[in-house]
């Protein structure tokens, strides 16, 4: 099996990515598999920039192929905030609930609650140019919490065309429609086609 490093310590992301990549012949390593790692500073203003920074830094240090993503929530009425700051919207070392509460507070009295999740995945392999995959999940921000699955903003996000909150989806359902799931599907399709060419 080919080794590939997923640049995350987020257990939810690890589960999602392993479920998709292992069936096509990849041994998935995560940041938990290494004792020492370089500091990664996500200081770019775009999802693509942050994904590239993570992937390149880790690939250079570990001498391995790396998949890194940067994801976030863009709320149109808030000038696409929290955007690249989604994980630290309410500050450093905060909980998902802290971020959700601040977002709902900032949307008080706002009728247009359209939003979208964005994911950019960077596939960074030794000796090759980086390749990017991007996708979205459009929906609205609810005024209440529902569901116990998922993570992040899932409990207050309702995908377009449904009445369920994303945190009410099973992992399998979420992988089919989610921004990250669709991105990884594009990545898998690319890797499968590449194998055929080789």
Helices 179-197 + 11-21 axis angle, to 10: 30
Active site residue 43: no
Closest CA to 120 of 160, 62, 74: 74
Reading the block at residue 54, the tokens are 């993570």
Give the chain's count of helices (H) and strands (E). 5, 7
d(CA 30, CA 28): 7
Catalytic residue among 69, 70, 135, 154: 70
- Say how many Å lie between the first and final Cα of the chain, rounded: 16
**Catalytic residue numbers, as ranges:** 70
């Amino acid at each position: 099996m080919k080794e590939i490093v997923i640049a995350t310590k987020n257990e939810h992301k690890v589960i999602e990515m392993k479920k998709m990549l292992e069936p096509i012949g990849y041994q998935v390593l995560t940041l938990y598999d290494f004792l020492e790692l370089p500091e990664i500073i996500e200081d770019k203003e775009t999802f693509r920039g942050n994904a590239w920074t993570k992937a390149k830094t880790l690939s250079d240090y570990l001498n391995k192929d790396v998949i890194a993503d940067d994801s976030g929530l863009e709320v149109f009425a808030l000038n696409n905030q929290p955007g690249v700051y989604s994980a630290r919207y309410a500050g450093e070392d905060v909980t998902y609930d802290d971020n959700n509460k601040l977002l709902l507070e900032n949307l008080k009295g706002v009728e247009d609650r359209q939003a979208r999740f964005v994911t950019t995945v960077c596939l960074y392999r030794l000796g090759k140019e980086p390749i990017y995959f991007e996708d979205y999940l459009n929906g609205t921000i609810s005024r209440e919490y529902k569901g116990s699955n998922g993570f992040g903003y899932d409990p207050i996000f309702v995908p377009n065309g449904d009445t369920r909150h994303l945190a009410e989806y099973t992992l399998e359902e979420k992988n089919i429609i989610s921004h990250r799931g669709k991105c990884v599907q594009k990545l898998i399709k690319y890797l499968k086609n590449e194998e055929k060419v080789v």
